[in-house]
Structure 1
Amino acid sequence: MAAGYMLMAACRKSDFPEVSSPAYLRVFNCLTYNVTIENKDAPQPFLTMLIDPQLDAAGVPVNAALTFDFLDTRGPLARPYPDAGNSALWQKEFPGTAKIPVGPIVNGYDLSGYGMITGGQHRFMFVTRPRSTDPFYSLPASARNKVLVDTTVSLTEGEIYTMNILEKSVYNRKVGVYLRQEQFTKMPLSDSLVYVNYYNLSSEGYAKTFVFDGTAINKCVKDTMNVFYTLYGTDRMQMKGFTNVFSAKMVRSQETGVHPYSSFPLFPDPASSHIYAGTSGQFFNIVLPGNPPEYQFGNGAESYGTYTSFAFGPEAPAAVNNLVSDPRTGMVISVYSGIYNPRSFATVNTVEYINGNLYVTTLQRRYDPPVYK
């Protein structure tokens, strides 16, 4: 990326600059703490991302090779593709809806949710900024010098990365960068299976120090949990053979290695057409080891860290975390493809639990465009 080229989320360009030898990057702001009287001096979790910044004599950013402004806290569902029709100023992720260069199809996977950054070593700076519509460089110097993270990372050409900005420890409130080099384009994943892997990226000490005050019921879980899933079909009927199936162990760690994927079939009903999966749902129980897989604590009662759950799709029952999705953005994507309207496709999903919040990033494979008769 040419030095001095400035890219801002507020500026939706239609002519993209060329990015030579790109790596592919997706960035999430995972800072979710609430500003209260007790922590009123803590920085706002509303950020500007600067790549290879230029600073004045006082150390205040005045330019950058890439400036991504108005980076808000991430949403619960990161869809496979950017919403090109969205003109929102505040962004839930990078590249988000900004008109910037994004990834192509790589080994059959759509990387349009990843921004292209020239491979090599880069300085990343994340600056907390006021919640306003004023562009970063129009702010006074006193509002541009609140640096939360200043680090250097190396991005390899052709590789795919997920970057999270998160709190490292509740004991010192230090904020840092978590950078994971993804591997899904290099793995022999079947297009007839839906894949999921899990991370607990919570701060050190989060579960131990969590205050159960009745305001976030069953949002906090212990550092080691088991995950089970149940698949549902039409009329919320449980699919035979896919009830309370063990999926993975989820252990709190901010180590950046890729966790193993578990899977379930795109077409769990053997009598299906294997073209359209029908309306479906997926329900995931996250329970403390030693508890049964179907464990659900009471009727909205607090489990004190031993249970939470999440659900996808219209046929799934209610969970603690209900991820709203349409037929194109769930774990099973059904769209008009080829001569079929609709046709169902499997996805690759990453579940990240961070300080009481549950996030899912969904990736889709390339599919044939519609053939209109």
Structure 2
Amino acid sequence: MILRSGMKNTLLYSCIVLLFFTAGCAKVEYAKIDDPAYLRVFNNLNYKIGIDNKDEQLPFLTMLIDPEMDQNGVPVSAKIKGDFLDKRDPYAPPYPSHIGSGTSINNPEYPGRENVLVGPVLNGFDLSSWAQIPSGKHRIVFMFRPKNDIPFFNLDPKLKKNVLIDTTIVLDHKEVYTLHVLQKDYDTKRNGIYLRKENFHKLPLSDSSLYVNFYNMSAKGYWQADNDIKGGNIYGKGAIGNGIKDEMNIFLTLYKNANVNTLKITGYSGKYMGRLVRNSDVLEVAPYYNFPLFADATAGGIHTEMWQRFDFLAPGMDITNIPYGPTDMETDGNWASINCLTPFPNYRQWNEIVLPNMIVNIHSGKYNPRSFATVNTIEIVNGNVYLTTIQRKYAPPVY
């Protein structure tokens, strides 16, 4: 076949372009994990370095799973690494929110920004915020590291010797785990880990109800310590910043609308939910409490602006007659509250913590927005409150 001059040039150009793209593209290798467990890690060490604790290490960490050490005990490699592990964010949303976001390399959780294999949709729940880890027994080491942008294994050897935790964990096949690094004793400053095997994906949960469970994982002796030392008495942390007692009762109040915060939903005004006991050691999953997504019958069954308030009261206290006002920050650990609402244009109290609403409102099908129920965990750690929301997979919107 004879080609015309123009056809020859076109063919030559096409070959050059193909060669360029072939040479410029690197093959990505994905390592399949045959027997995975699913792991999510939070760094709850949120203390400030000051005059009283100036000799302590800044809690900026690297996690090493099954590390290899040299003859001097310095890590030189690891099967799994979670680097730049910073303090966790107050809210962990129901989707991976950190991968590819912003310019910072600091990681508020693992896997977070790490480009690793993540969990599947398991029994309808999206586990893409959990990393796949080979099941079985593992050595796990948390190292203090400098707060800079140098990867851990590129640091000077003398900066890779500061071990925070060195322990062993066992992960069962296809189980879901949340691991916390936290302070166990406020007076001795002893730190440790808290590994919890989750069960939300095994429970017969309804799509028409919201679920929430609670943990007080504060250090022993935190709430009894001097408030001036703890520094909890600041705007944004509320009365809970100074800690709550080791045993509290939980009460729920549901509000119809963020703009009219006095309008409570009938049957859900100071409703007793259960008991909260401080525990940073036992690995049992706390019971889930539930309430209807459309507790507000006037909402119409598609979209609701309902939001949630949780009051924590010491045993013997009456929810209908709390002896503290909206400006009382120091309640001796007897009372604190959390409001879950977004947006909150006309609502803010000095002594209360505000977190996002547990209801997810997104475009779905012909509805924009539509309200969906979620499964939630509220964790209290040394005057800080964290909300983790897990959502089921839903069909994408139809345009």
Q: What TM-score, normalized by structure 1, do the two folds share?
A: 0.90
How do 1:32-43 and structure 2 match up within 5 A? 32-43=46-57
SS of equivalent residue, structure 2 residue 168:
strand
- Shift in alpha-carbon separation, 1:318–1:45, aligned structure 2, 3 A: same
Q: Is the 8 A contact 2:296 2:306 kept in 1?
A: no
SS of equivalent residue, structure 1 residue 271:
helix
How do 1:69-88 and structure 2 match up within 5 A? 69-83=83-97, 84-87=99-102, 88=104
Mapped partners of 1:44, 1:21: distance in 2: 36
* Aligned with 1:112 (options 128, 152, 155): 128
Mapped partners of 2:128, 2:342: distance in 1: 26
How do 1:4-153 and structure 2 match up within 5 A? 16-83=30-97, 84-87=99-102, 88-153=104-169
> CA RMSD for the aligned pairs?
1.9
- Shift in alpha-carbon separation, 1:215–1:42, aligned structure 2, 3 A: closer
> Would you say 1:268 and 2:295 are equivalent positions?
yes
Mapped partners of 1:140, 1:73: distance in 2: 23
- Shift in alpha-carbon separation, 1:214–1:202, aligned structure 2, 3 A: closer
Structure 1 unaligned regions, length at least 5: 1-12
Structure-2 residue corresponding to 1:288: 314
* Aligned with 2:244 (options 213, 217, 221): 221
* Aligned with 2:341 (options 313, 320, 339): 313
Structure-2 residue corresponding to 1:183: 199
SS of equivalent residue, structure 2 residue 353:
strand
* Aligned with 1:322 (options 334, 353, 368): 353
Mapped partners of 1:110, 1:48: distance in 2: 26
> Would you say 1:365 and 2:380 are equivalent positions?
no
Mapped partners of 1:16, 1:282: distance in 2: 42
Question: 1:261: Cα distance to partner?
Answer: 0.9
Higher helix share: 2
Structure-2 residue corresponding to 1:4: none
Rg larger in structure: 2
* Aligned with 2:174 (options 158, 166, 187): 158
Question: 1:322: Cα distance to partner?
Answer: 3.5
SS of equivalent residue, structure 2 residue 153:
helix
Mapped partners of 1:25, 1:245: distance in 2: 34
Q: 1:299-328, CA deviations, whole angstroms, 9 ceiling, x for partnerless residues?
A: 422212111111111366435453443xxx
SS of equivalent residue, structure 1 residue 207:
coil
Q: 1:79-107, CA deviations, whole angstroms, 9 ceiling, x for partnerless residues?
A: 11112441430011111122221111100
- Shift in alpha-carbon separation, 1:139–1:353, aligned structure 2, 3 A: same
Amino acid at match of 1:280: M
SS of equivalent residue, structure 1 residue 19:
coil
Mapped partners of 2:128, 2:366: distance in 1: 24
Q: How many residues align?
A: 355
Mapped partners of 2:148, 2:272: distance in 1: 45
Q: Is the 8 A contact 1:171 1:205 kept in 2?
A: yes
Q: Which moved more, 1:218-227 or 1:13-22?
A: 13-22
Amino acid at match of 2:348: A
Q: Identity percentage over the alignment?
A: 42
- Shift in alpha-carbon separation, 1:16–1:312, aligned structure 2, 3 A: farther
SS of equivalent residue, structure 1 residue 208:
coil
Mapped partners of 1:16, 1:331: distance in 2: 35
Question: 1:16: Cα distance to partner?
Answer: 4.2
Mapped partners of 1:215, 1:171: distance in 2: 15
Structure-2 residue corresponding to 1:245: 271
> Would you say 1:231 and 2:258 are equivalent positions?
no
Mapped partners of 1:85, 1:51: distance in 2: 24
Structure 2 unaligned regions, length at least 5: 1-26, 234-238
Question: 1:221: Cα distance to partner?
Answer: 1.0
Q: Is the 8 A contact 2:185 2:220 kept in 1?
A: yes
SS of equivalent residue, structure 1 residue 310:
strand
Q: Is the 8 A contact 2:338 2:355 kept in 1?
A: no
